[in-house]
Amino acid sequence: MMSLQLSLALLGVLLLAAVLLHGAWSSRKNLPKQASHDVNTDVASPDKSSAIGSSLERQEPVFDNSLEALTTLTSPEKKAGLDALIDVIAPITVESQVSGEAALAAMPATRRAGSKPFAIEGLSIETGEWEVPAAGQRYSAFQAGVQLANRTGALNQIEYSEFVMKAQAFADAVLGEPEFPEMHDEVARGRELDQFAGDHDAQLSFTLRAASIAWSPGYVQQNAARLGFVAGAIPGRMVLPGAQGQAPILGLSFDSQAAMAEDPEQTALHEVTLSLDAPQVARSEQPFARMCEAALALASAMDGVIIDDNGSRIRAEAMEVIHADLEKLYDTLDARELSAGSLLGRRLFS
């Protein structure tokens, strides 16, 4: 009898251990993928061709050498300040030279008229160029400007009136005389520019979804960092930096709440989004090609699939259509002297 009781007790202990082990295994299996602590893997840059090749069967999008045709350079910047292409400009004549200190003291408290950027420039005695007033300089004339349109819409009459009030106050302070363009003509010009911008604005995105096991924020960040992404200013956002002083080439975002969780590595991410603000990035950066490469490389490395807004996998044919449309967009912006990534292009599409 004692032998039977002992056997039953041992069997019970073994069953309990099996249940506990199975529970631990299941719990571990369901944890989101974690970042590797291998130093070598943290800093290594994967072979893009290998990453893309290994993901073709699962992802389907394939890009031939034609995708590398995005190499046309944008037009040179015309100048760094106000431009009649996208600004209302009011010249301000002065009777005598004005110091930079006096001009700065006369500047309005805010640099906006409604939702539109407002600026004052002075004609430098030293360089003969228009510039933002600076201490230690002297100016023989000024000009005030307000942007005709941006992503908030076209300049309206209320914003134009605010522009006139601010420019007039500055002119009075420097003993100058402004000359304002006719309001209705400029508002109409703003509407036309806004219509053009609305018809040629392109903000593209790919969604990368986990095929099976979810990802931790650290796992996503580690894999994105291998492709050159760095942390952005907002939790849950990374960016692929552009050239110095330029907008980021690509953005990568995921749930900001997960990024700010007390233990973010225990939170599960099922999707991340790659984005491209096309008018903000120079054509020469080949942003769409790099977006496709990044999507395929991340899908391969993290076992994900690339999907559209309807949850369907994105196919190669769709990518080629987007590519062709984007090329036409670049050509149109170039013809309008508002090239993607140029100063004027970035100002209009902001």
pLDDT tens digits for 249-299?
Answer: 999 999 988 888 878 777 889 999 999 999 999 999 999 999 999 999 999
Q: How many Cα neighbours within 13 Å face the side chain of 249? A: 22
Overall CATH class of domain 87-198: alpha beta
Tens-digit pLDDT string for the chain (350 aa): 456 555 555 555 455 544 445 454 444 445 566 666 654 444 334 443 333 333 333 334 333 333 333 333 333 344 459 999 999 999 999 999 999 999 999 999 999 999 999 999 999 999 999 999 999 999 999 999 999 999 999 999 999 999 999 999 999 999 999 999 999 999 999 999 999 999 999 999 999 999 999 999 999 999 999 999 999 999 999 999 988 778 899 999 999 888 888 787 778 899 999 999 999 999 999 999 999 999 999 999 999 999 987 888 988 888 889 999 999 999 999 999 999 999 999 999 99
181: left (phi over 0), alpha (psi -120 to 50) or beta: beta
Percent of residues, the chain, with pLDDT higher than 90: 67
How confident is the model at residue 262, as a pLDDT? 78
Helix residue spans in 70-117 (DSSP H): 100-106
How confident is the model at residue 39, as a pLDDT? 42
Domain layout of the chain by residue ranges: 39-63+201-348, 87-198
What's the pTM value of the predicted model, to 2 decimals? Answer: 0.76
Are residues 225 and 42 in contact, defined by beta-carbon separation less than 8 angstroms? yes
How confident is the model at residue 27, as a pLDDT? 47
pLDDT tens digits, residue range 106-121? 999 999 999 999 999 9
Decide if 39-63+201-348 and 87-198 have a common fold.
yes
Note the Cα 297 to chain centre separation in Å: 20
Residue 324: CB partners within 8 Å, gap ≥ 6? none
Other Cβ atoms within 10 Å of 121 Cβ, number: 22
Residue 210: which of 263, 249, 240, 254 has the closest Cα? 254
Distance CA 278, CA 43 (A): 29
The burial of 191, by beta-carbon neighbours within 10 Å (0-12 exposed, 13-18 middle, 19 or more buried), is given as middle
Distance CA 187, CA 155 (A): 6
What fold characterizes domain 39-63+201-348?
A: Cell Division Protein Zipa; Chain: A, (3.30.1400)
pLDDT tens digits, residue range 21-35? 545 444 444 556 666
What six digits make up the tokens of 56? 């073709």
